[in-house]
Structures are given as C-alpha cells and as structure tokens.
Structure 1
Amino acid sequence: MHVRHLSLTDFRSYASAEVALEPGVTALLGRNGQGKTNLVEALGYVATLGSHRVASDGPLVRVGAERAVVRAGIVRDERSMLVEIEINPGRANRARINRGPVPRPREVLGALRTVLFAPEDLALVKGDPGERRRFLDELLVSRAPRYAAVRADYDRVLKQRSALLKSAGAARRGARYASAGGQYDVSTLDVWDAHLARAGADLLAARLSLVAALGPRVEQAYDEVSLGGGPTSLDYRSSVGAETGGPLPAERTELEQVMLASLAAARSSELERGVCLVGPHRDDLVLGLGATPAKGYASHGESWSYALALRLASYDLLRADGGEPVLVLDDVFAELDSSRRERLARRVSGAEQVLITAAVEADVPGELAGARLLVQAGEVTPVGSGARVGDAAPASEVGSP
C-alpha cells in the first residue's frame, strides 16, 4: 500500500495543495511552522477520521473557510482508489470513494492504513490512561474497521447510562427520594447495564486479544531501537472484575457476565457519585520496563524508545495482517540521539512507503535516501530529482468536493 497523491482544500494552513508521492522514502523538509505536519496530519485523518494533534475537527479548517476537503489517491495491491473527506465542523462530515458517496464517513476506514509516530506519542508513556486507550482503539479499527461501530455503540450506551446515573443519584439525595421512603426505581438502570455489558464485552475482548498480540512485538521493537534497559511488558488493567482480583476470561460471552457482576457490585458507589465506574472507558494499559512501570520511572530516552516501540509493533502487526501500512515519522529524528536515529533508520528502511518530516535535512539518516520535498509558506516543491510535485493530478481529475 502507498499514497500516490494528496490534495488539500482549506485544510489547516493550506488554501490548496497538490502533492504527488511515490513508494519508498519521502522527506518533507522545511522550517517549523511551514506546514509539514499539516500534510501528514491530513493523511492520518483519511486513515483514522481523526487528528493526532487535536481532539475536534474545528482547528483542521483554514481560518475563514467553512469546510476542508482532503483527497488521497491510494494504491493497494496494484489497484487505485480515491478517498475524499469533507470536514464540516459543527455539521456531519461527508465522504466519497472513487467519487461515489458513502452512507457514513466511517465507511472509508480501512482504505488507507497508516502508522504515525510523532512527538505527541510521548504521552503514550507519560500521559493519562485515555492516551493509551485511544492508542488501542485506533489500532483495533486499523486492523478491523468494524470496531469503529463497536466503539460508537459503547460510547452511545455509556452516555445514556451516565445520564441516568446522574439523575438517579440526584433523586436519591433529594426530596423525592425521602418522600418515597428511601426507594428509587432502578429498573431502567438494569436495562442499560445489560446494554453496556454487551457493548463493553465486545470492546474489552478485542483489546485483550490485541494486547496479547502486541506484547512480544513491542519487546522486540524496543530491543532493536533502544540502548538496553528492557524487557518490556504490557499489562491490561481493567475495572471489570476488579472486585474479585482474578484474571479476565478471553471469551466475549463470559466477559459480558463478569461485567454485569461488576456493574451490580459497583451500583451503590455509582449512584452515590453519579458516574459510571465500570467498563473499558475506565481501563488502562500499564507499560512495564524491567521491574517497574515505565510511567514515572523511565528516563526521557527510554520513554521515547518505548513510544517508538509501540508504533513499530503496531506497524509489524498490521503488516502481518496483510497490506503493509504507510509509515509516517513526524519530526521524530530531531528528538533522538544519533544512535537511536541509526537504529530506527535500519528498522524502517525496507518499508514500502515512509514519509518523514524534518526541519533540517541533516537530521534524516543517510540510510533513508529517497525523495526530498521542500515545504515553505504553504508551497511544496521538489529538492533534487526524486520528487515530482509538478506531476500531481489537478483537482479536476480527482473529483470535486
């Protein structure tokens, strides 16, 4: 798989951009603030329908514009595909494949698979559990796009159940509860417990399977790019079954029953606090390094190596599934010492397509020879003969928004 063409309209700093890409290594070079990361962010949006930099779509639309359009020409198994996404903050986004509209934007998931490593990934090691849950769920969707619907179902049920807990908790503490003799009808909550357990078990089973598959790959990748200090370990800590302390079953139907039991055990506390205390939204992926957790104990260099190992393991896993993903390294080499740069370059040099952003060309290791594109003031121009920016298909050939 590789991207042969990227077209932007009113995306971030670009009023318009047309960029042709080739298999192999392409480095996007330019001073900070010139728009390098905006280009790879756009590709990441096509792959995940989200940004690795911001949580909402609003900042993706150029100031003064109402919408943004991202188009990517993709080659997979020698077949070409055009994916177009129209980003409409505050309204529903729209998407098309080969100029034909799709019912929902998430129908494009799976058309392009990317693995992106960026400075923000340090939060995978040092940040809150939400960062690691997002990492797992995005990788799940990359492997099997149907999990986008699973996650959407879970979030919908969680929102409804949380609203009910909040109102029920308020009623218990208020006059209505006292006038009813200390009783409150929670039969509706029983129904939402069942819905949450069903949706949560699907997501939890997938996460557990993913962590098991990632573990050995992370350890190998860390060993290859670090300067020692391992071994690594991945431990999925769940709020489901926490009251018993035992290991979670791997089978989905058994997980559903365990989650129902955990919800029942936590109900009193949930009603008191008015929040949902059990489910995949409360879980964490604990990253171990040697005998200690990486968070709070790993050095800055070790944290970088661990975050990089997580992304490289993701790349290996997706490649093993079939269909090698595009590997994106956003402003990474400037953060690594020379030894880690060389190790990373050797590790990725054989990938089908690698996109690199760098402020200084000297930061890109010599092993990663290939096309060089200069990004300056919203313009993308070739450096040398490896890139053919001028050959990018005009907007009229790739469809209108």
Structure 2
Amino acid sequence: MYVRGLELVDFRSYQRVVVELGPGPCVLVGPNGVGKTNLVEAMAYVATLESHRVATDAPLVRFGTPRAVVRCAVVHDERELLIELSIEPGKANKARLGRSAVTRTRDILGALRLVLFAPEDLTLIRGDPSERRRYLDELLVARQPRFAGVRSDYDRVLKQRNALLRSAYLARKTGGTRGGDLSTLNVWDVHLAEHGARLVRARLDLVDALAPHVAKAYAAVSASRSDARIAYSSSYTQSENLEEALLAALAESRLQEIERGVTLVGPHRDELTLTLGAMPAKGYASHGESWSYALALRLAAYDLLRDDGVEPVLILDDVFAELDAGRRERLAELVGGASQVIVTCAVEDDVPSTLRGMRFEVGGGEVRRV
C-alpha cells in the first residue's frame, strides 16, 4: 500500500497544494515551520480521523475559512482508491470513498493503513496513561475498524454515566437532601460493563500480539541488552468474565464515585505499562532509551499490521535529527524495505542515504519535486 497523491484545500497553512508521491522512500525537505508536518498530519488524519497534534478539528482548518478538504489517492494491490474528507468544525465531517459519499465518516477507516512516528510520541513513554491507551485503541481500530464503533459506544455511555454522577455530586454540594437522582445508575453500569468488556478484551489480545514485536523492535533500534516489555494493567482483568468483573468493580467503587462525581473504573482508567529491564520506562529511561522505546512501539505496530496482510504506509516525521548516528542507521535498515516510507527533515544529511529516494522541497506554501 502507498499514497500516490495528496491534495489539501484550506488545511492548516495550505490554501491549496497537490503532491504526487510514489512507492519506496519519499523525503520532504524544508526548514522548520514551512508545513512539512501539516502534510503528513493530513495523511494520518485520513487513516485515523484524529490528529496527533491537537485534540479538536478547528486548528486543522486554515484561519478564516469554513472547512478544509483532504483528498488522498491510495494504491493497494495495483488498484487506486480516492478518499476525500471535508473537515468542518462545529459540524459533522463528511467523507467520500471512490467519489461515493459514505453514511458515517468512520466508514473510511481501514482504507488507508498508516503508522506515524513523530516527536510527540515521546509522550507515549513520559506522558499520562491516556497517551498509551490512545496508542492501543488507534492500533486496534487500524487492525479492525469495527472497534471504532465500540469505542464510540463506550465513550457515549461513559459520558452519560459521568453526567449522572456529576449531577448527584452537585446536588449534594448545594445541600440537596437526596443527593441527586441515581435511580438509573445501575442501568448505565450494565451498559458500561458490556461495552467496556468488549474493548478491554480486544486490548488484552492486542497487547499479547504486540509484546514480542515491541521487544524485537527495541533490541534492533537501540542495540541494547535491556528487555522492553509491555503489559496491560487493570484491577479487574484477572477474571475470565470481564463483564461480570467490571460490574463488580463498579459496585465496589460506587460510594467513591458518588463522592467524587466521576466514573473511577473502566477501560478509560486502565494503563499500558512499559518496562525496560526491571524498571518502569517512565521516569527511569534516558532520553535515548525513551526515543528508542517510542520508536519500538510504532515499529511494532507497523510489523503487526503487516502481519495482517496489508503493509501500511510508514511516516517518520522529523525523527532522524533526534537520533545519534548508530540509531539512524539501524532505523534506516529496519524500514528501508517498506512499500512506502515518508520522511520529513530540515537537513537532508540527517537522513541515511538508503532512505533518500524521491525528494521534495517544501516551502512558501508549495511542495516541489527535485
């Protein structure tokens, strides 16, 4: 699979730009701040319907314009498919596949498989658990797009349950004698356990499949003897019946939740633990080890998707400038055979020669092949 063409209209800094890409290495060169990351962010958005840089869609639309449009031509098994997205903040986004409108935007998920590594990925190691949960869920959806619906159902139930708990909490704080109406809380517990169990079961299976790839990728990138291990951490996953275990955990935490006005148990609170040797990676890994671990997580995702039978597009956004010479060469050796690897850089000499294929200069709102 590879991206053959990309067109952006009013996306980020671009009024309009068209880029014709090809298989193999593609290097986007230009000073910092000229829009290289905007290009790869647009491709990643087509693949995930999320930005790795911002939490909302508004910053994706060029200032003063009502919408942004991203068109991406993807080639797989010698067949080309055009994916089109219209991003309209405050409204429902619209999408087309092969020039036909789709009922739901998430129906385009799976049309482009893509793995992006960017400087922001250091938060996978150093950041909050939410970053690692997001990593798992994005990979889960990339492998099985139907889980986008499971995530959506869980988030909807969680929002309703939190609203109920919050109302009860505020009623108590303002002197209400009954502390708010919690008569429907048991119903929301059942829904949360149902959708949550499906999500957690899928995450557990994913971590089992991913773990050996992470260990292998870390060893290859870092040339270290320390083992990189991942594990799913939760208070209720020891039981074979996850739905019953989650219901029991909700019942046990009921009083605390009422006192705090928020749901304290469920997959939205779980953790992907990362260890390096005998120590947790967060707080103990050096800068170089953290970069290697973050790279290993992305490369493991790439290998897992490739094992599923569709080789994804691999993007390395401003990565090589942060790596020493040894890690640069080892990374280039690992990804050199990818069907398409897109590299962004400010200095072309930072990119190993084995990855210098098609070259594009980015600047002044334009992308020019050289």
TM-score (normalised: structure 1): 0.90
Query: How many Å apart are 1:280 and its aligned residue?
Result: 0.5
Cα distance in structure 2, aligned partners of 1:5 and 1:170: 53
Q: Provide the aligned length of Structure 1 versus Structure 2.
A: 370
Query: How many Å apart are 1:187 and its aligned residue?
Result: 3.1
Query: How many Å apart are 1:175 and its aligned residue?
Result: 4.0
Q: Which residue of 2 aligns with 1:358?
A: 345
Q: Does 1:202 align with 2:198?
A: yes
Amino acid at match of 2:308: D
Cα distance in structure 2, aligned partners of 1:234 and 1:41: 27
Q: Which residue of 2 aligns with 1:102?
A: 102
Alpha-carbon contact 1:229-1:289 (below 8 Å) kept: no
Q: Which residue of 2 aligns with 1:164?
A: 164
Q: Does 1:346 align with 2:333?
A: yes
Q: Which residue of 2 aligns with 1:248?
A: 238
Amino acid at match of 1:114: L
Cα distance in structure 1, aligned partners of 2:63 and 2:214: 40
In the alignment, structure 2 segments of 5+ residues that lack a partner are none
Q: Deviations over 1:125-167 (max 9, x none)?
A: 0001111011011001100111111001000000000011112
Cα distance in structure 2, aligned partners of 1:111 and 1:331: 25
Alpha-carbon contact 2:30-2:347 (below 8 Å) kept: yes
Amino acid at match of 1:319: R
Query: How many Å apart are 1:174 and its aligned residue?
Result: 5.1
Q: Which residue of 2 aligns with 1:140?
A: 140
Alignment CA distance shift 1:357-1:168 (3 Å):
same
In the alignment, structure 1 segments of 5+ residues that lack a partner are 242-246, 384-401
Q: Which residue of 2 aligns with 1:378?
A: 365
Q: Deviations over 1:261-289 (max 9, x none)?
A: 00000001100111100001111111000
Cα distance in structure 2, aligned partners of 1:184 and 1:311: 46
Alpha-carbon contact 2:129-2:270 (below 8 Å) kept: yes
Q: Does 1:234 align with 2:230?
A: yes
Q: Deviations over 1:200-241 (max 9, x none)?
A: 001111111111111110000000000314201112111x42
Q: 1:283 aligns with which of 248, 262, 270?
A: 270
Answer with 311-320 or 373-382: which moved more: 373-382
Cα distance in structure 1, aligned partners of 2:335 and 2:209: 20
Tell which structure's C-alpha radius of gyration is larger: 1
Q: Which residue of 2 aligns with 1:29?
A: 29
Cα distance in structure 2, aligned partners of 1:25 and 1:171: 60
Q: Deviations over 1:150-207 (max 9, x none)?
A: 0010000000000111122333455442xx6xx8763310000000000100111111
Alpha-carbon contact 1:25-1:368 (below 8 Å) kept: yes
3-state secondary structure, aligned to 1:6: strand
Cα distance in structure 2, aligned partners of 1:173 and 1:379: 57
3-state secondary structure, aligned to 2:341: strand
Q: Which residue of 2 aligns with 1:269?
A: 256
Identity %: 63
Alpha-carbon contact 2:167-2:180 (below 8 Å) kept: no
Cα distance in structure 2, aligned partners of 1:347 and 1:115: 14
CA RMSD of aligned residues (A): 1.3
3-state secondary structure, aligned to 1:51: coil
Cα distance in structure 1, aligned partners of 2:180 and 2:65: 51
3-state secondary structure, aligned to 1:187: coil
